[in-house]
Structure 1
């Protein structure tokens, strides 16, 4: 995918995210959440949640993947720090590391935004909480898809062993798929929360791909 196509795809999924948010707030809204919280796409979301129920095992698995994603971020941050110390200038740090840092910052910013601007509440009250929490988008889906997806794009630059790089890229892709499915199955998010996480991830990764090629 060339630069132009990457940014077009990013724009399309950014628009789809906005449309999804509008629909979630306006379409088929009903009080089906805990403490009578109002949820959009209530029949679809309610039906999917009732079908899968709550599965703590899958919740734990996706939580572990979330920690793994943060470790990946820390590894790239460490690489950047080592380069900064050795080269004595931020301008001499690999452009890829700087771009990854900016991508991670955007993800963190979106996480903070959606904690304040609540689109949906979780379908259940978490065990360590006494009230409904923000649920849209699925932050784990967004975090893991963006971190693992961007890692796939840059691994060849930092791992010269092609076989090892390919194995790690496949592992990243598998983690992304399992996370999306696991986060849906575990029951801590509505279906539209997962879709929101996917749309945002595709928008960010497409933009990152375009910027990476410059």
Structure 2
């Protein structure tokens, strides 16, 4: 188990390092003013080509925007579960460690979102209500790809019935894939925004998975 956890930690760290390096590359490589109001964009040739290929689909933009609320409600549900356990067990330290870890994970995701709202790498390829908005990494992609996979891990713990668990997790997986694809095809993000969101989410989720595996291994030893 120790070797497996070490391998998982290396994988999660690799994803996060790849995200950092990719972010730096976007800042310096092929930076041109191809965005609205001549905003500068890294990997301009690739991003411009992809944007022209898919165009802008406002319907998909609105659908993915509203659908992302489902992920928020799922995160809120786990927060309420943790709060109920806290109240019932009368101690924060008696809340399931996996739920506490999930709360910490959500905090990290939110911090990452705020960081890139202030330290802007790219602006969106379109104006939103007449204004430039931060675009990297895609916040919707990051939100869905962080919340849904970790929710699937929790559902695997909480849903006893195998058939019900498989159905729920399959729906979550399909929803995640459709949201990422829909966000790309909507044209409200550059291609590198989506890719950056995928890399960051993969690293964070893998780190959460690794920590959960450590919790499980400690339980088995007790």
Q: TM over 0.5: same fold?
A: yes
RMSD between aligned alpha carbons?
1.1
- Unaligned 5+ residue runs, structure 1? none
- Unaligned 5+ residue runs, structure 2? 215-222
Aligned to 1:38: 40
Aligned to 2:21: 19
Aligned to 2:51: 49
Separation in structure 2 between the aligned mates of residue 62 and residue 105 of structure 1, nearest angstrom? 23
Normalised to the residue count of structure 1, the TM-score between the two structures is 0.96
Aligned to 2:187: 187
Q: CA deviation at 1:105?
A: 0.6
Q: Deviations over 1:163-196 (max 9, x none)?
A: 1111111111111111111111001100000000
Aligned to 2:201: 201
Aligned to 2:141: 141
Residues matched between the structures, number:
212
Aligned to 1:101: 103
Q: CA deviation at 1:65?
A: 2.5
Q: Secondary structure at the match of 1:29?
A: coil
Q: Secondary structure at the match of 1:213?
A: helix
| Aligned ranges 1:59-138 → 2 under 5 Å | 59-126=61-128, 128=129, 130-138=130-138
Aligned to 1:211: 211
Separation in structure 2 between the aligned mates of residue 48 and residue 4 of structure 1, nearest angstrom? 37
Aligned to 2:171: 171
Q: CA deviation at 1:61?
A: 2.1
Q: CA deviation at 1:131?
A: 2.2
Separation in structure 2 between the aligned mates of residue 64 and residue 123 of structure 1, nearest angstrom? 20
Q: CA deviation at 1:64?
A: 2.4
